[in-house]
Each structure stands twice: as structure tokens, then as C-alpha cells.
Structure 1
């Protein structure tokens, strides 16, 4: 078992043969316990690295959100990002091992990413985690990610990727535990499965995560078609499968397809779900074996898959034998990784509109205003499933760094994402006291858990603190991994309902009269938490705030004040002397994401109920236009936003997604012309909610660019540039035999005055064929060209590229007319992107 020179299969078989039934069942939980008698350490399989290592207590590089990386249309950049993330993941794991924490969650080497679900509906809050709406683009980017993350060592995995969520999974979030979808065989094989096929069959992904929902009335983790027929038999997948977290509970709690935990556990195992994440339903496997529902050999099959992954990660071999186990901590946030985060942030930015060359702005600008809820919002640039970098550059910081000496920058938040009422702070100090002394009792602990006696107990005037990295709140406390408890009594000056906000980094919670009213101890990514407190004059209210810091900067603030409605006309009047106005708006991961406790107009449980830009932002933009100054709309989002009024009126619109730790720098580079924008949309931007079928309708009819028959606001593949490109010299055969490859080539020239990147896009369509997509992407290349430079671009289309899926889910190649289109976007669009599109009809015989 411990002889690293023996074949992995032999070692795994030996190990599994030594386990008792109880030990086997326990090893199939995500938090697998140690087996001291065999020297097997505990291991938690649950880890994330969607766009950089996530949720670790150490500082790591945070790249643009997945949907933003998809907007780069650059497989090489994604491969390198994944490689760098695996490098940092190894450093985190090695450091955790040295500190005795390697058995903790988010310290392992099995990453449950990438999310390759198809972003079929822009209302889905988790769509930001995907590579967009197209199966081909998703497959190619996902495969690049897997290869980069897992490395190319012949013996050891650098890290283990996991394709999720298998399958037919893309919202709604509030009902995901009980949903059942019945996709047609055509839609299943044409849209929902191709990316999984690419990662599983061709890219060699180590793991697969099955989804919460049911398909054809069977939960995905116990599904005959998906798990048994397709995954294991047709695709011959030999890697491990994990359930999504708490998905096995859903069998009997929500789907009601199984009577109890034992039945659910047995059926999930029968369908080769090897790990149960979240709870301990798989403890019931012991009872399932003892009652004859399953055999112990079925557990052995799963365990062999699980331990094969751990052995391939080198977890049971000497450090000297595993080069990745020697990765030093110095790679965390290395200059190369930071530079790549900046590169990808730049590459991802999509220029949607630029009337009369408003952009780029002149660097000689003397006075500029940066307005909006995302202007100085670090949560917005980091997206979800993110790590914590030591420094995050927001929009206002990036622009401030870009401006020359003597230039003036005016910053105002002005509004929240969905309303125009902000908190005007009051001084709280006169209201707070503790045991007769004014202020707040602060107790500081040398751990993150408020355990033991406080190292220091002091009185402070209020709860409003910020500590930069390396600073300490009080003497004799460490610079990291500390916690605090703040206790005070608030005496009300009047009978009223007081407005409060609490905000902190890393985790915090608030108690009023010993009742917890705010819990952000582990899920604090939603920013400031507002709440109200009805008070009676001269009455006292006990306030307790608990807080912890793990690394880096830290802050905790409790504020009260009056809700004040922003006067848009007054704001516009204050800005009449500026040279330009940048409005940083859109939405944020504070509003969209996974199963979130958010319910505000336009948003519900992490999803969106409308794709329109929140009305308050449209009204503010209209007011800013009244200044007569150039208004540039920098939109941050993880999904397509409908902005028809902005498209008609605002001269310049930039879609910046959630751009990662260097988002502000990248945005400033684009706005001031130090980088020529080159991102392309990986999703369709629709004009209104009327363009969308019902959210729960999983038919692809009238969905995504492949089947949408209406007119998009901005089409899939769209993006402008500060330069121009021209395609000519198209070469392709007039006809081809069925089953034969087809070569196509074109000459691409940068005809503009600036250097820039172009994304060459190749689409295939089959006019006259019933139920065929309008067109489908079948090739793309990101090309750098200096102004005046030309390059020869070529593609080879395979028979599969020229094929369709019939109504029974079978692939076939139709005869007759096939249209090939190559250029800077989709053919036939009024709002074409950077270059012209050339089309050619080829006859398939």
C-alpha cells in the first residue's frame, strides 16, 4: 500500500481490502475521517477553484469570474489561469499540511469545478459561474481549464478537476432541490451534454458532480439514463462522482422518490455516486449492505475510484517523489499570477457601444466623476466562489491611479443597485456605554473562535474599525487569525425606528438583547447588512458584535443614521464642471448567485425576476446625461442585462463583468486607451423580458443565439474595438462528401490605426433542415494584429462539426446546402462586431 513503486491499481486494491464496512462507508463522505490503524489521514474532498483558489484562509490570486473568462474566447489564457490556480492550490495544501490543517475543508486538492452547465436563461444567478450559452465554446474552454488544472505529469495529477452539474441544470435556484426536468432527446444531446462529453471523454476530467434536480423523474445522482447509461457505459468514465451538497437528502426530503435515507443512499451508490457531500446519509450504506439492498463489493468499486484519485494526487507518497508537493508558499499571489489576472480582466471587457469615438478618454483629462454602486465595490469585482487576494483594485481606484498629477476625481456612490436611498450616518458615541463608562467594551482573542480568555480587554468609543494587513487591533495580538467581541448598551434619545448597517471582513454577527439578528459569520459576501430597531426614548438595548479575521485586511463597522433619498438633479448640478462622467453600475454577486437570502425588486433567492437594468440606474443615467458631459456606462454583471434605453441614449457602454482583483486597472486601461477592448459576448443580450420563455422551461425553443428567432440587443459573439478588421480571400470547396473534413481559410487584416485583438468566429448552419439551430459556433481563434498587419486564418471542420442531432438524440450529417460563415461575429446581424462576415454555401453529397 505504501510502496510508491507499485502500480496504483495494486496499491488501491490492497488498501480497500483492509477496510471494515464501517470504515468504507465513512470514506464515502466528503469529510472522510482518518483511519489511524492504517495510517490514512483524514481528507475533505470539498474544495473550489472557479476562478482562482476559493475560500482558503490564505491570500490567493483572484482571476475574473468564469463568465468573464469566457468573454476572452481564449483557451490559452484559460489553460494558464487553471495551471496557475493549481500551483497556488498546491501551495495552500502544502502550507495547510505543514500547519496540521490539511484535513480541513478548502485545503484539499480535489476541486469541484468547472461549472459547464449551459447558461440557457439570463435569470439564473449561477450563470456567472459558467462559460456561457454555447455548447461548443463551453466545451473548448472547459477542456482547456481541466488540462491546465490537472497538469501533464505522467504519474501525478497537479490537482483534480470536477465537471458539474451533471446534467440539465441551470436554475431556478429556489426550487432546485425539488425540480424535475424532462428535456427532449434532441435538446439533451444537442445542448446539455456536449460539454460534458468533451471533458469526460477527451479532456480526462478526474471527477463529475451530479446535480440536485431530477431528470425524467429520477434525481440526477440516481439517474438511469445520465449516470448508468451515458456516464459509465457509453462514455466509460472511470473517475469519481460526487453528489452536489445535500443532493442525496433531496431524494427523500424533496423529490419524494425514496422512502428514507437508506433507500436514497443505496440507490445513489447503485448509480455510482461515490461521494455524498453535505450530510451523512451515506452512513446508511452500512444498513443497506446489512439488509441486502446492496453488496459490500459495490462500495469497494466506489472506494477504488476515490483512492485512485488520492493516490494520483501523491497523497500517500514521499514528498521527494511528487514535484507538486514541493510547491513553495512563495507562489501565492506571485507577480506572474497577478499579471495574468490583469491580462484576463483586460481580455474579458466587451465594448458594447462607442458613439463618435467617445472612448478612449484623453489622459489629459483634468476633472472626472466616478459615480455608482459598483464604483468602489470590492465584492462586485470578485464575483462568487472566490478567493481573497491581499489587494483588490476597484473602478475608482483604477481610474485614480490612471489620472495624471493635478487631475481631480469626484466619487459618489449616489445610489444602491436597486434604490436611491442611502444611509446618512449619525454619530453613535453619545448613545453607547458599558457599565457606566461611555463607549464599547472590546475583547480581543488570539484565535478566530472567541475561545478562551481574551488577550486584551479595552474600552473603545464605537465599533468602527479598519486594520490594514499586518496591523493589529491591540498589543499582544497576532496580525492574523484573531477575533473580537464588542459589547455595549445603546440608550435611545427618542422613540423611533432606528436604521442601522453592519459590515465587516472576514466574518461577523450581531446580537440585540441576546438575540442574533445578523449572521454573516461564514457567508458575508453580501456587503453591508441593513436592519432596523424600534426603540423607546431612554430605554437601553444590549448590543453585542462578534467578529473574526483570518488574514489580510480586516474591518468591522456598526453604523446608524437616516435614510436619505438621493437628489438626482442636485447631483447632476454638482457635476456640470467635470470633463466626463463614468457611471459604474449593473448588478453584483450581492444580488445574484447560489441560493441567496436576497429578495428585493428584480431578484429572488439568487436569481433575477427581470433582466432589465434596475430602474433607479436608468433614471440616474438619464439625469447624468442632462449635464451635457460625456457619460460612460461601465456595467458589471455576471449575466446578460437588458439596456435598450441606455443603448439608445448613452454614448459609450462597456461591459466589465466581475473582473477579479485587477478589474479596476483593466477598466481604466480600456477607458483611457492603454488596452484596445477585445472581449466578445459568450451570451446573448436580449432586449427585454418578453424575449424569454418561462424560466422553468428547459426546451431550447427560442433560447440562446442557436434557437432565438428574435432580434437581440447585442448578439452572442459581439464586441467592438478601437480599431477595424477586414476579412477577404475566403477559400472553401464548393462541395464535399458526407463524412469528409472541410477546410476553410480567410485573410484577416487590421485596417485601423491601432494594434488590437480580433476573435475570428466560424459558424455553420443548415438552412431548410427542420429543428436545426439557426447557426452554431464550430470554430474560433483569438488573433493579435498590429495596425496594417494581415494573417492567414484556417480551420478544419470535421464530420461531427457538420452534423446535427435528430429528435431521438442521434447524430447525423444532412446532405445538401450547408452555410459556412467566418468573420468578427455572427452573420446577418445589424449590429455586427469588429469585422465583416463572409459566408459560403457548400453542398454536402
Structure 2
């Protein structure tokens, strides 16, 4: 009677959902009882599974266990800079490299917190709609990417927090804490540190590459961020990389997985392979003879999930053949269910506060405001000669030119979601100046070519079976096989889908194909160019003859065919398309190519009061394992870091007008811009700044926001500054070891105001293996309110040890009104003052350390006012 009364009281307090709770003796199994510990519940659950059921749970798409009431679950989800690839509209923040440029751990924490809330809302919504168990609606996010951006040619560097281990560690820690939440029992979401551990290109070789790095570089560069997230931030998961390390695949590495991760760091969370990485063991690295041997070895090295393939299904055979014990399988399955229990997936909604997150948080006002704030914070003012910026808002005419000026794809980066509204640079400028200023726009060129396709609307010339438009057939496989799941008439061919979004009926936008058939009737003699753009593969047939074939992975790839035409003649067009993983898109456009005359264009805009050129590169060119047929790009990576020549040529023509030219550069990586740095008066690096990119750009250009972003990577002068891409030695790489003169150094960024530093306080001596406190006064000595990123670097020489030129060991972003001063204090941990020996051990050694504190590195090679103060401490 007392137990029943207690339950009724709990039900009233917790709400109707609490009625799913029952007295302990009423549970069918102990694992269903929320009053027991997670460990006890997991042990009970796993003890009830067959070997086949256990193995099936080790695939990313874990099936339901209906006899025990365990629902299906797909571990695969992404939240790099907002929830990604979901079929729902979400808030999209700046790409990770742009968020790193904020140098603001608090902003990153809030971004992760907001993204986790949106992820919870999506998870809850998916359950309500009967979509739980599908990909990209779960709560296990394979983020953050904390690889070190050691070489600017790497296309996936945009997903990282830059080249510095300390910055990466601090930002990554803030992200993990924001995403996983502060609840003592339940996680809001589960973060995953990737790609463990020595992984940063080249992309085309990632499935076969064997990375080698000295113990010094391993522990000085490649491991610190992972150690911080595993040991201190308590990240829930780790993803092991595709490539091999010292001859062993990373997911089967004695050093990385067993020795360091599980033994030294005592990591008890789960490990997932990168997707298809287990297949690489026996298909590409050739280190194992078959799937069973590869799978057993990966599990014995602590890899709990096989993503993307079904290699782990062979674990049943491996156990029977004695390659691995069922007890080792149990360990992995327990780790996996522990995560699901900690996420509250098996407890009543009323017990898990995050499970009550409403759909109204999606794109909520605070989230959108924070996306704008982070976009503003990410803007880096590289150059501002003669106070070209900020521009006046009452200008009569502004010319906005360039391939990124009105490009919504670029601002979203990669691994992104889809927001309800995207503001491009062009739209942001138009919104800012209003109707009193004439804004003229010309794309002018592609990223690499001065020839553009002038599009023509051919929709009225397309028919099928006498009806306007196109017949679309959709297949639930990538091979156009069998009967289509749906056939319908569409007005044209123009689609963008997020992976997991519904294409038609119950068919999702991955692992599907489509055939579009239409009759095109020409209205004149001559020719018309048909352009197809698709992601992943496509082919175009005209009157039964294949004219375009891109039936291989071809993300965001466009191809064209020039069709000779006769007036009133009809041509049968068939476009076949398939999509595997990732975003899906297919477009058929028509028009005629024309070369842009840059001098004529410059003559057309010479009466403008200012010219804003928006160029750079785009995730259409750099990214993950892409096929890109453009000069300077290969496989998602770059073969040169120089800005494409066509853009420099165009800016030369624009500069010849004599009007002020502002270069707004979008990029996910460092670009060499030697001519622009010398000749263009104002340069803003805008990254891929998310849904509010255009608003943030306009705010900076017109002075409504005073920029304070800093470069999280070194901008080199030329390709000659770079060691070979495949060499993982850090000698000559990043600001820590590069002995040359960069174009713009790590930590560089200008402001519309000035700051002065004084009253540096550093103890003259200290004890090794003890913390050190450093403080400095910072004053806004200029004429505008603004923000400053205060950076602390250490530099030392220790006999018998290799040391970097300097190393970032502290940073704070502060806001100061004009004339205001603030004392900034840093407390360096003992590990921040160690040196790394040849064996990779962190050593506390006596000696002298130089501290430099300022708004940049102490030897910044720019024309900004030098504002660094220095002091020395002797450790005994």
C-alpha cells in the first residue's frame, strides 16, 4: 500500500509520463528499472542477448531487439556547426574553422548547448513521428573534429579548430561540455572526438595512407587535444581514423588504441570506426586477410562500432573460430548500451529533462541571434589601409562582384544542416544600405574561370507525354534497378535534399537513384548548352546517346554538353542520377557560355563609390574525398594555396578604376594572396560563416560591428613555404615551427580601434610543476568600442629538448568601450609549462621562460601597431 501511494505521489509530481514507472517487482527485467544503476541495468541487458544480437548492436545501424523491447538505433549523426543532415530546419552556425577564429570558448559552449537542444527536439520529434531509428535523428554526434590543421591544402581542415593544439583543446573542451550538458545523471547529447589521431590528409589517400610521426610530434601536436577531451572533458566517444599509423590501421593500433586511449587515459567511453574504415583493414591497408580477422582485431583494440559496412557481422564467425572471445564482444556492447542509458533512452520522459525539449527550440530566436553573433565574431580584418573600412552607409552606388557574392552553398560550409533563411553577402549589403543606395551585382566569373553560363529558362520547352515538365522515376537503390517506388510529373529538374530528408513517400535521400525523362523542343537554329550539376553521380543521354557521364562520386560537380539545335525539332533528354551518402542534389540548367570581359565590367562599375569583391573558394571545391575537376584542386584537397588567378586578374581590373576595393574572402583554409595583400586596401576573411554570413559581413563592412576575429591558421605567402603534403613531421609547419615570414600570422586580426598593453605582472621565479599566474592591463586607446583577443605565448630553450619557436598557452576575448581598461589574468597549469622529450614524455624542467602577451604573436609581420608586452620567469 505504501509503495502504491508513493508511486501515485511521484506520478503527480512528474506528470502523466511518470505512469510508465512501475513497482520494482512489476518490471519484466531489471534493466527496465530506472532505480537501478546504469551499470547494473547494462549488465542485465547484455546478459540476455544472444551472440548474434550482440554483434548486430555493434553496427552503426543497430536493429531492434523486439523480444526485449529494445528499439532500433542509428549511431550516425553530425553536429559540426549546428545539427547536420537532418530533414528538419535548423540553426546553422559558422563552419568550425570560423568558430575557431572567434577565440571565444564561451560562444562555442553556447553554440554546442543550443545545437544539442535542437538535436533533442529532432530526436523527440522523430519518435513522435515514428521515425526513431533512422539515420541523422539520434543523439550520438560524431563531432568535434579536433585533428590539427597542419597543412592548408587539406580540404577537411575547415572542419577543425585550426593548427594549434592548445586552441583546439580549449575550444573542443567547451564544445563537449556544451553538447553533453551539465546534468549529473543524463547526457544532453553524446560528443565524439575525431579522427583519432594522426589524420589530416591527403584526402585521396586516406584509405591507404600510413602516417608516421615522431614521439615528439605525436605528443606535442597530434595528441594534446584528444587527451584534453578524453581525460578532462569526459567526451563520450572517440572515432578512429581511416589511415594507418606506423603500419597498423588506426582502429587497430596498439599504440593509439590500447596503450594510450584505453590504458594511459583510461577511456571507458565508446569508439566508432570512421565509416568504411574496417573494410580498409583487408581491402586497402592489406594488413588482414579477411573481414573476420579485421573485425576481431579492431574489437580487441577497443573499436566498438563498425560504421558504414557490415564487416562486424563476421564477428559471429570470428568467435566460433576462436579469433576473439564473446567476453570481448560483451565489453563493447556494454559500452554502447551505457551511452544509450546515459542519454535516457530507456527511461520515462518525465525523468529525463532533455527528453521534454519541445520542437519550438528549432531555429528559436536566441539560437538565430547566436548564429549571427558567432558570424560577426568570426570575421577577421586582415588589412585596412588608409581606413578604407568601415564604409559609409549613404553611398550612392556600391558594386558587389564575385563568385561568392550570392552563393548560399559557400556560407553553409560542409557537414551542415539547412536553415529556413540564408543571407548571402549580396543580400546582407542590400539589407544594410536600403533603397537609397544603388547596389549592382555581377558574378563575373566562377572560382577558377572567366567563362560563365548565362542561364535560359527552358521550362516551357519541356514536355513528357504531351504534358508540361519532366517524368521523374525514383528507385530505392543506387542502380536504377527494379520497379520505381514512385513516378510523378515535375516542372523541371532542380532538387536539393539533406541526407535523411524524404524524397517521396517513405524514400529517404540516401542510397537512392532517379531517372528524369523529358522532350526538349528547340525554338531556334543554333545551339544550347545543357549543364548538369549533381551529388553524387549522373549521366545525360540525348536521343539515346550518352553525352555526359559523371557516374562516379562527384560532389557538387557540374558538367555541360553543347547541343546543336534545329528550330521546332524535339530532343529526348534522359538524366539518370544516384545518391549515396551525404547531401543530395541534382539540377539541369540550360544557356550559353560567355567569357566575361573584365575591363568592360570595370568600366560598367567605375562610377560606384565602392567595390566589394566577394571571392575566395568554397566547399564546392574543398572538402571530404571529392571529385573536383578544377585547376588547383584534387580530391577535395588543394594542389596550390594561391588564390585562383582569374580572381586576381579581376581584382586588378577593379583596382584600375581608382575606386576603393574591398576584398571579402570566403574560405575554409589559408589562401596565399600576395598581390591582394600588397595592392587591395581592405581585406576581410569571412570563412563560411553560416546562415547569417551576409548580415555579419555587412555589419563589419559598414562599421556596425567592430571586427575582432583572429586567424586560427597561418596564412603563408606561397606554396614554396610548405613541406610535402604527405609528410607528418611538424618541422617547418604552423606558426610553432615555421621559420619563414608568413603573409598573415596565426593569431592575426585587426580592429577599427586600438589597444594598449601595460602593467604586465609575472613572478620572477617559480617552482617546476606548479601553476603560474600572469596578468596584464588592456586599454581601448582608440575611438570606437571594440573587442580584443588577448593572447599569451610562451617561448623557451631547454638544453637537450626540442621546443617550438613559441606556443599559445592562454587567450581571452574581451569587450572594451573606448577609453576603458581591464586587467586580464591567466593561470597556466603545470602541464602548460612542460617540454616534450624524444620519447614523447612531458617533462617538468627548470629554466627560463619568456612570456609574451598581446593582441597577436610578438613578432607579427603586419602593419598593425605592435602591442605585445613581455616578461621572463625562471623555474627552479
> TM-score band, normalised by the shorter chain?
over 0.9
Q: 1:508 deviation in Å? A: 9.1
Residues 355-391 of structure 1 deviation map (CA, whole Å, 9 limit, x = unaligned): 0000000011110010000000001000000000010
Residues 709-765 of structure 1 deviation map (CA, whole Å, 9 limit, x = unaligned): 000000000000000000011111222222232221111100001000000000000
Alignment match, 2:128: 98
Alignment match, 2:741: 711
Q: 1:162 deviation in Å? A: 0.1
Q: 1:143 deviation in Å? A: 0.2
2:653 & 2:615 partners in 1: Cα distance? 14
Mapping 1:484-563, distance limit 5 Å: 487-490=517-520, 499-502=529-532, 512=542, 526=556, 529-532=558-561, 541-544=571-574, 558-563=588-593
Alignment match, 1:61: 91
2:781 & 2:646 partners in 1: Cα distance? 41
Kept after mapping to 2: 8 A contact 1:681/1:716? yes
Kept after mapping to 2: 8 A contact 1:180/1:215? yes
Alignment match, 2:71: 41
Matched, 1:773 2:812: no
- Secondary structure at the counterpart of residue 204 of structure 2: coil
2:605 & 2:555 partners in 1: Cα distance? 32
Relative to 1, partners in 2 of residues 1:832 and 1:424: Cα closer, same or farther, differing over 3 Å?
A: closer
Alignment match, 1:761: 791
2:329 & 2:586 partners in 1: Cα distance? 48
Mapping 1:75-474, distance limit 5 Å: 75-426=105-456, 428=458, 432-435=462-465, 437=466, 439-442=468-471, 457=489
Relative to 1, partners in 2 of residues 1:515 and 1:736: Cα closer, same or farther, differing over 3 Å?
A: farther
Alignment match, 2:13: none
Kept after mapping to 2: 8 A contact 1:370/1:396? yes
Alignment match, 1:814: 845
Kept after mapping to 2: 8 A contact 1:824/1:832? no
Matched, 1:825 2:856: yes
Residues 521-551 of structure 1 deviation map (CA, whole Å, 9 limit, x = unaligned): 999962x7232256686986432458999xx
Relative to 1, partners in 2 of residues 1:738 and 1:465: Cα closer, same or farther, differing over 3 Å?
A: closer
Alignment match, 1:470: none
- Secondary structure at the counterpart of residue 294 of structure 1: coil
Q: 1:466 deviation in Å? A: 11
Kept after mapping to 2: 8 A contact 1:67/1:682? yes
Q: CA RMSD for the aligned pairs?
A: 3.1
1:834 & 1:16 partners in 2: Cα distance? 64
1:611 & 1:39 partners in 2: Cα distance? 54
1:721 to 748, 751, 757: 751
2:187 & 2:554 partners in 1: Cα distance? 33
Alignment match, 1:663: 693
Q: 1:843 deviation in Å? A: 1.8
User: Which stretch shifts more, 540-549 or 235-244?
Assistant: 540-549
Q: 1:807 deviation in Å? A: 1.0
Kept after mapping to 1: 8 A contact 2:555/2:627? no
User: Which stretch shifts more, 765-774 or 243-252?
Assistant: 765-774
1:798 to 802, 808, 829: 829
User: Which stretch shifts more, 557-566 or 672-681?
Assistant: 557-566
Kept after mapping to 2: 8 A contact 1:164/1:210? yes
- Secondary structure at the counterpart of residue 435 of structure 2: coil
2:552 & 2:724 partners in 1: Cα distance? 34
Kept after mapping to 2: 8 A contact 1:350/1:654? yes
Q: 1:506 deviation in Å? A: 12
- Secondary structure at the counterpart of residue 263 of structure 1: helix
Q: 1:810 deviation in Å? A: 1.0
Relative to 1, partners in 2 of residues 1:227 and 1:463: Cα closer, same or farther, differing over 3 Å?
A: closer
Matched, 1:678 2:713: no
Relative to 1, partners in 2 of residues 1:409 and 1:58: Cα closer, same or farther, differing over 3 Å?
A: same
- Secondary structure at the counterpart of residue 405 of structure 1: helix
Kept after mapping to 1: 8 A contact 2:275/2:308? yes
Kept after mapping to 2: 8 A contact 1:825/1:832? no
Kept after mapping to 2: 8 A contact 1:368/1:410? yes
Kept after mapping to 2: 8 A contact 1:34/1:42? yes
Kept after mapping to 2: 8 A contact 1:52/1:60? yes
Unaligned 5+ runs, structure 2: 1-30, 498-502
2:740 & 2:494 partners in 1: Cα distance? 52
2:632 & 2:619 partners in 1: Cα distance? 14
1:516 & 1:422 partners in 2: Cα distance? 24
Kept after mapping to 2: 8 A contact 1:494/1:535? no
Kept after mapping to 2: 8 A contact 1:719/1:834? no
Kept after mapping to 2: 8 A contact 1:442/1:484? no
Relative to 1, partners in 2 of residues 1:26 and 1:562: Cα closer, same or farther, differing over 3 Å?
A: same
Q: 1:799 deviation in Å? A: 2.4
Instruction: State the TM-score, normalized to the length of structure 2.
Output: 0.90
2:723 & 2:122 partners in 1: Cα distance? 44
Kept after mapping to 1: 8 A contact 2:462/2:470? no
Mapping 1:584-733, distance limit 5 Å: 584-733=614-763
2:472 & 2:411 partners in 1: Cα distance? 33
2:287 & 2:246 partners in 1: Cα distance? 12
2:256 & 2:474 partners in 1: Cα distance? 50
2:843 & 2:67 partners in 1: Cα distance? 56
Kept after mapping to 1: 8 A contact 2:428/2:694? yes
Alignment match, 2:44: 14
2:549 & 2:691 partners in 1: Cα distance? 26
- How many positions carry a matched residue from both structures? 828
2:548 & 2:870 partners in 1: Cα distance? 58
User: Which stretch shifts more, 388-397 or 821-830?
Assistant: 821-830
1:17 & 1:335 partners in 2: Cα distance? 47
2:375 & 2:468 partners in 1: Cα distance? 44
- Secondary structure at the counterpart of residue 308 of structure 1: helix
Residues 457-511 of structure 1 deviation map (CA, whole Å, 9 limit, x = unaligned): 58x6x667999xxxxx9xx999x99999753223678998853224589999866
2:97 & 2:806 partners in 1: Cα distance? 22
Alignment match, 2:873: 842
Relative to 1, partners in 2 of residues 1:555 and 1:138: Cα closer, same or farther, differing over 3 Å?
A: closer
Kept after mapping to 1: 8 A contact 2:252/2:298? yes
2:780 & 2:866 partners in 1: Cα distance? 9
